[in-house]
Structure 1
Amino acid sequence: MKKILVYLVIALVSVLISYQLYRSSMPFLQQVDLRLKDTRFRIRGPMQPDPRVVVVAIDNKSIKEIGRWPWSREVMGDLVAALARSGAKVTALDAVFSEPQGIGPDAAFSRAIEGAGNVVMGYFFRSDEQKMDPEVLEQIGNSKVKLLKIASGVASVPLNEYSFLDGNIALLGRKARSFGFFNAQSDSDAVFRRAPLLYLFNGDVYPSLSLKALEQYLETQPMVDVAEFGVRSVSLGQINIPVNEKGQLSLNFYGPSGTFPTYSAVDVIKNRLPEGALKGKIAFVGATEIGIYDLRPTPLDPVQPGVDLHATVASNALQGKFLMHDSRTLGVEMGIMVALPFLLALVLAFVPSTVIGIACSLGTVALYCGANYWLFSRWLLDMSILYPVLPVFFLSVGAEGYRSLVVERKGRYMKKAFSNYVSADLVAQIMKNPDSLKLGGEKREISVLFTDIRGFTTLSESLSPEALVSLLNEYLSPMTTIVLEEKGTLDKYIGDAVMAIYNAPLDVPGHPEHACNTAIRMIRRLETLNESFKERGMQPIEIGAGINTGDAVVGNMGADMRFDYTAIGDTVNLASRLEGLNKLYGTKIIVSGTTKEGGGHEGQYRELDLVAVKGKRQPVAIYELLLEPSPIQVPFAEALARYRARDFAAALAQFQKLVDAYGDAPSALYVSRCRELLENPPPQEWDGVFVAKSK
């Protein structure tokens, strides 16, 4: 629970940092987010625009045939007239004719505009001071938005406002159907992704060229709903255009330049178009020739003609395919910014390693990006990609920092502390769940194994120090490996002796059997070692093993400067005594009754004696663990029963048979005891318990 709370706190801090960055609108982060959003268009690919919207291009072909731009007003008049003859319902001019060319040319153009009756002329606002013709201002003033729904308490419409404009000369504007501005506004990285539909001028709201062309095409006036925070919505009849508070529409781009049905202006003038190509359509007239420089970098084309932006607005509206970027999408973004890091924090709290943690974080980011793209392509939600991912990034950094500095530091300490005397499996469990390890002292049931080399003192006197150390290393290495493979904990080396414990520091199910397996494997491994020793002219060695199972106190014990993980208590002492009894009985492995009960290896035990070891009053039953079942077990048990029944003569005879037939060392010991007891009968209260007076 503590770990979960830590990760949740890191998630909360990550959310707060990300929220502040979200509100600060740092240019760098905004540009990164915008570029990531641009990728969605490239993945989606081109989309079919509305067929009712076309572009009439002042392109390279037209300039080569007609002459360089700007053209004479007579040519422009011919173009407007040709569009009307071709059946275009609305002609929107993405150009301004602010300077007179002469009475004749201007009049010709004016007559063509009047004859067409469908021309929406363009103009643009500017910030620098400009002399303006009152008649032009009056003409343009007639195109302002007349249907305004302003919420109570709104003193002024919160839109970008301009004080000056460049308009068409009065003669041309007198016969125009309406007017619309064609200002464009790029993002901080100079890429055009939005189209301003509304601006303020002299306190009134004015529509863009695309919005005014739609008004004429749909024959309905736009209504602007204004709240305290800005524009709430723009509607044209049944079409609701989802602009932001500044009256800007996020453009749902269809593709690069040429995606819209595009016709050369010269072909329109010279009537080269297929029959009905322009009938009933909105024709946006604008320059696409590179040399004219009316080009805008967009997410899908670094040199997209500006006229395509107006066409995109109109097509989005007619198809109803708007990118949704308003208060609703902002709310969803904020919700995801909170939900993602907290959910990931709950996952990371249970993740065992840095690699998996990073994989989970990357998976979360990939999942969100996939969902973001699906919402974009399916529902046209224009949601941020970067900002909901930022708290995930901060959480990942914080979580991995915490894991490295606290959790894995503790784990590295544990690994270093235990790897030399705990099996790799147990170390892995400790690293996976450090809280399962209780450092310090605790009482728990364990199995304890002691082994010792027989006659080591005599052996050490016959070898040089170097040879003795080499022999010990050659013996102890495989024995230690066996302990670790059987999930034991190597407690210590005591000269030539080995002490191992099982079921500590972590639980080891079936620990008595693991201890018994260790002893048997050690004896068998020693047989191989002895063959190697004999081949090198060295003296073979023998070992004895003692195993006991019971409660003991285990933990890190020692001084501040040095401590070891070990076990203490009667269970440990008895295991040590059992190992020593092998010398008396001539056996290799002696186990206690508690070990026999859980030690497995059924059919491989024989009871040796009831012994009161040194330091203990209560006798314990001890058993020899044989390497494999033996025919000696049943007759030995029968002889032992006669011995305890005080029938020493019969027991002597049966034990002697076992000595003669098998050379059995425990039987030889009992032969000696029986003879002594026949000569000196025990007292009446004798219970068959052997008192071991030495270790």
Structure 2
Amino acid sequence: EKASVPVPEKNAAAFEKLIDRERVQIQYPVPQLVRAARTFGFVDSDFDTDGICRKIRLVRVFEGRIYFHMALSMIADLCGVPLKEIEVVPGQRIVLKKAENPITHGREDITIPIDAQGMIYINWADDFEKAFNHLSYYALLEYEGVRDEVHGFFDEEEIKSGNTDRSLLYGKLSQLYTKFESSREPSARHQAWKEIVEARKKIYAMEKGYTKPLQDEIKRLRSELKKGKSAETEAEIQNLENFVTAINITLAVEKLRDHSVIMGLTATATSDIGVTPLSSEYMMVGTYHNIVNTILQKSYIRKTDPYLSYGLMLVIALIIGLTIQRLSAVRSVVTTVVSFILINAGIFAAFAFSRIWIDQVGVSLALLLPALAIIATKFVSEESQKRFIKSAFSHYLSPHVIDEIIKNPESLNLGGEMREISIFFSDVAGFSTISEKLTPPQLVTLLNEYLSAMTDIILSYDGTVDKYEGDAIIAFFGAPHPYPDHAAKLCMAAIDMKKRLAEMREVWKKAGQEELRVRMGMNTGNAVVGNMGSRTRMDYTMLGDSVNLAARLEGANKYYSTYAMISENTYLQSKDHIEARELDLIKVVGKNEPIKVYELLGKKGNLPDYMLSMLGKYYEGLELFRARDWKAARTAFRAGLKIVEDDGPCKTYVERCSEFIETAPPKNWDGVYKLKTK
């Protein structure tokens, strides 16, 4: 009768799940305490399959009666609720009807959510030693023997001090207890209780303060003892320390007044030690403290519905799968790691602030399993793609450009885009004549030696080799990886190629081989670049008028006996890095618009003095030529040839001046020279 109530007959079927078929008896506390108790309950602990105590059974049915856990019985008694007034709805809740909340002192129904087995999750507080107040049972046994002597000491100290606040507070405390017991309004009872607590704190502080003179005396005696041993002094110190201990015991025990106390074993040698989510060695008597704290604080842990958890896992798996399948392997890893951190932070936040327990393992696996499968596939695929790209492009793209393509493989899709690039065309002068003098193996060796040297230089400046057409090289700069200084890089590559060719000609000359002289045409402008061809065979190439113009400029070198001609666009974008001279205003075959062209001479500031002197005469002649002073212009160009006797542009203009002296062009001539052949 003290610990159970009968199962309601009208709802007996609902209580079937609360029956433990294997149980043969109810486990009660110490019999001597049970007989003296007003009420009691069973003292079972519940552990999950991993040996951790996360939840506790608050009710169970045995032999047709409902039994309550000791902690629930204690709360019911504390709140003034008889066991028969406890409402149990299996699988839903336990309700303590019209309970007096010991915190607010108001009357309310305390509702405790339970599962089908009558269990709740325990909201474990901090470490047992830190979260709750402790007092050795030894102090209770000693209290009766020291209480009167200690209080006599307090009274003497109060009289000596002449301060009667302590006695007045005890008197006030008695009145407050009477007021608390007689009040019926919750607000009045709560206010009276707050005043009781405040008065007791003041009394405790005063009585604790009475120990200070004793502590000071102990310190003084210890100082004397350092000067020399004295049995009398040692005995006096021992007596004072024992009395201070008695005072502390008295204060600690009396602090229990108006508190609820749970007694249990905490010695390390006892068997009542278990594992909780917070500790691998937890004094299981603390289970009762945590259950009471969970219920009175209403800090219930609610685990999400399984179907809701499954739905959340499915949504997370779909979102992460759809998200990372569009990303690269590396970005997929970053996205997965960030998502894992954010989701777990959200799970922790939900538990910390709302006490909602989301299946962390399940949700994390729902994120990681599909993500890892997709990432593994991506890494395998991307490694294969990288090997293909390096194999396919390593012969005509620089390693830097290949790395950029690997980062953005979508650029290899069939199709093109309009982009500003710098275009390079080169051709070996008189190659047909040279090829007739060589056997096929000799020709192949010579050509391979030349093409390899030129290609290495193009690639060193991040250029892209479009194709080889016999002895011709077609290349471009600024694609597929875009960079702003493509015109300057084109010119630097051409200058280095001219220098390398001069070195190779010396070697060929000494070996008695044919010497190659190469004409180069360069232009900067918009062109379509991209993969063009069929879906089974494609080339990364370029198309457009700018490309055609570069090809025309390569051929235009023949008119000026030059070997490196650049357009005005190329010159304007690279003039801070190069030395060049203006050649002419020309119309190439197939073009109606005239363009200004330049001869590429070398890198900025690297021209020898004799070239600078020759250029002075050249520009003097060019100015006179445009002023239609043909004779004076011819004289200036001839002066240039005295400095550099084989200068092609000076020779060209000498011939042109001689022609115009004989037959002057029309007065409306615009100075544009129209090329007659490609």
- What is the TM-score normalised by the length of structure 2? 0.64
Of 137, 141, 150, the match for 2:4: 141
What's the offset of the Cα at 1:224? 5.8
Task: Select the residue among 641, 645, 649 that pairs with 2:631.
Answer: 649
Aligned to 1:580: 555
Q: Which residue is equivalent to 2:495? A: 520
Q: 1:71: which partner in 2? A: none
Q: Show the counterpart of 1:216.
A: 77
Q: Which whole-Å deviations, capped at 9, do the CAs of 1:272-317 have from their partners, x for residues lacking one?
A: 9955659556565667789986664434555656544334424555
Shift of 1:349: 7.3
Match for residue 650 of structure 2?
667
Structure 2 residue ranges without an equivalent (≥5): 104-109, 146-245, 606-611
SS in 1 for 2:631: helix
1:230 aligned residue: 92
Q: Given the alignment, which residue of 451, 465, 472 partners 2:426?
A: 451
C-alpha separation between the residues in 2 aligned to 1:260 and 1:654?
Answer: 107
Residue pairs, 1:109-508, within 5 angstroms = 138=1, 140-142=3-5, 156=14, 160-162=18-20, 166-167=25-26, 176-201=37-62, 205-221=66-82, 230-231=92-93, 237-238=100-101, 243-246=113-116, 247-251=118-122, 252=124, 254-255=126-127, 274-275=249-250, 277=253, 279-280=256-257, 284=262, 296-300=274-278, 306-314=284-292, 316-317=294-295, 320=297, 322=299, 324-326=300-302, 348=324, 353-370=328-345, 372-373=347-348, 382-397=357-372, 399-400=374-375, 403-404=378-379, 417-435=392-410, 439-442=414-417, 444-454=419-429, 475-477=450-452, 479-505=454-480, 507-508=482-483
Give the drift of 1:208: 0.3
Larger radius of gyration: 2
Cα distance in 1 for residues equivalent to 2:515 and 2:338: 60
How far has the Cα of 1:519 moved from its partner?
Answer: 1.9
Q: What is the CA–CA distance in structure 1 between the aligned matches of 2:352 and 2:302, rounded to whole Å?
A: 17
Contact 1:490 1:500 in 2 (8 A): yes
Residue pairs, 1:26-105, within 5 angstroms: none
> Cα gap change, 1:543/1:182 in structure 2, threshold over 3 Å: closer, same or farther?
same
Do 1:440 and 1:556's aligned partners in 2 also have CA atoms closer than 8 Å? Answer: yes
Counterpart check, 1:600 vs 2:582: no
Residue 184 (structure 1) shift? 2.8
Partner of 1:179: helix, strand, or coil?
coil
Pair 1:672–1:562, CA change in 2 (3 A) = same
**Matched residue SS, 1:210:** helix
1:64-98 CA-partner distances (Å, limit 9, x unpaired): xxxxxxxxxxxxxxxxxxxxxxxxxxxxxxxxxxx
Per-residue deviation at 1:683?
7.3
**Aligned AA (1:655):** F
| Alpha-carbon distance change, 313 to 557 in structure 1, aligned in 2, over 3 angstroms | closer
Provide the alpha-carbon RMSD of the alignment: 5.1
3-state SS of 1:166 partner: coil
Give per-residue Cα distances to partners, 1:40-75, cap 9 Å, x unaligned.
Answer: xxxxxxxxxxxxxxxxxxxxxxxxxxxxxxxxxxxx
Aligned partners of 1:242 and 1:326 also within 8 Å: no
**Deviation for aligned residue 1:609:** 3.0
| Cα distance in structure 2, aligned partners of 1:568 and 1:359 | 39
SS at match of 2:40: strand
- Following superposition, the deviation at residue 579 of structure 1 comes to 1.9
Partner of 2:601: 626
Cα distance change, pair 563–433 in 1 and its aligned pair in 2 (3 A):
closer
Is contact 2:461–2:490 with CA below 8 Å preserved after alignment? yes
The answer on whether the counterparts of 2:488 and 2:577 sit within 8 Å (CA) in structure 1 is no
The higher-RCO structure (CA 8 Å, 6+ apart) is 1
Between the aligned partners of 2:495 and 2:113, the Cα distance in structure 1 is 82
Residues 1:186 and 1:641: Cα distance change in structure 2 (over 3 Å): same
Moved more, 414-423 or 529-538: 529-538
Contact 2:413/2:531 (CA < 8 Å) preserved in 1?
A: no
Please tell me whether the aligned partners of residues 75 and 292 of structure 2 are also in contact (alpha carbons under 8 angstroms). yes
The 3-state SS of whatever aligns with 1:178 is: coil
Match of 1:9 in 2: none
| CA shift digits 1:343-395 (9 cap, x unpaired) | 867975786x4334323422332344456556656776554432332332145
Counterpart contact for 1:325–1:383, Cα < 8 Å: no
Mapped contact 1:192–1:297 kept (Cα < 8 A)? yes
- Give the whole-Å Cα distance in 1 for the aligned partners of 2:404 and 2:12: 66
Q: Helix, strand or coil: the match of 2:375? A: helix
Q: 1:473 to 1:156 in 2, by over 3 A?
A: same
Q: CA deviation at 1:181?
A: 1.8
Q: Secondary structure at the match of 1:359?
A: helix
Note the alpha carbon deviations across 1:400-455, whole angstroms, 9 max, x for none. Answer: 25744777766765565445434445444444445566632555554311134456
Q: CA deviation at 1:500?
A: 1.0
In the superposition, relative to structure 1, how do residues 687 and 162 fare at CA in structure 2: closer, same or farther (>3 Å)?
A: closer
Residue 391 to residue 234, structure 1, CA distance change in 2 (3 Å): farther
Indicate how the Cα distance of structure 1 residues 321 and 473 shifts in structure 2: closer, same or farther if over 3 A, else same: farther
How far apart, in 1, do the equivalents of 2:62 and 2:433 lie?
A: 112
Tell me the amino acid that sits aligned with residue 593 of structure 1: E
Q: State the shift of 1:644 in Å.
A: 5.3
Within 2, Cα distance between the matches of 1:346 and 1:154?
51
Shift of 1:230: 1.4
AA aligned to 1:250 is Y
CA distance in 2, matches of 1:443, 1:292: 83
Q: Quick check: 1:159–1:198 contact (8 Å CA) kept in 2?
A: no
Residues 174-200 of structure 1, C-alpha deviations (whole Å, 9 max, x = no match): 764223122332223233221111224
2:621 to 627, 633, 639: 639
Superposed displacement of residue 491, structure 1:
0.7
Q: Percent identity?
A: 32
Given that 1:436 and 1:506 are in contact with CA atoms closer than 8 Å, whether structure 2 keeps it comes out as no
Task: Give the SS at the match of 1:571.
Answer: helix
Tell me, in whole angstroms, the C-alpha distance in 1 between the residues paired with 2:369 and 2:420: 45
> How far did residue 566 of structure 1 move?
1.7
In 2, Cα distance between the equivalents of 1:232 and 1:512? 83
Note the C-alpha offset of 1:206: 3.2
Aligned residues: 549
Q: Which residue of 1 aligns with 2:225?
A: none
Q: Counting helix residues as a fraction of each chain, which structure ranks higher?
A: 2
